[in-house]
Structure 1
Amino acid sequence: MKYVRLCTHTYAYVCRLLCEHFAATSRTAGFLDLPPDLLQLIISSDDILDCDEALVFEAASRWLQHHRTQQQQEQQREEMDAMEAREAMEAQCTGFLQLVRFPLMDSGYLSDVVKPHALMAHPQRLSLLLEAFEHHALLACGRAGVSSVRTRRRRLSCAFSQQSVLDGHEDAVSALVVVRDYLVSGSWDSTIKVRALCCAIEHACLPAPRLSLITHNTRCGPWPPGPACAPYQTTPAASALCVCAGTS
Structure 2
Amino acid sequence: MVMASGGGGLVQSPPDMLHHHNIMDTSSHVEMMPKKLRLSLCVGCGGQIHDQYILRVAPDLEWHAACLKCQECRQFLDESCTCFVRDGKTYCKRDYTRLFGTKCDKCGASFSKNDFVMRAKTKIYHIDCFRCCACARQLIPGDEFALREGGALYCREDHDVLEKSANTSGSSSGNAESNNNTTLSNNNSHHPPELGSMSDSGSESGSHKSGRARAGAAADGKPTRVRTVLNEKQLHTLRYYKLTLIQQTIKCLK
- TM-score normalised to the size of structure 2? 0.29
Higher strand share: 2
Looking at secondary structure, tell me which structure has more helix per residue: 1
Relative contact order (C-alpha < 8 Å, sep 6+): which is higher?
2
TM-score, normalization: structure 1? Answer: 0.29
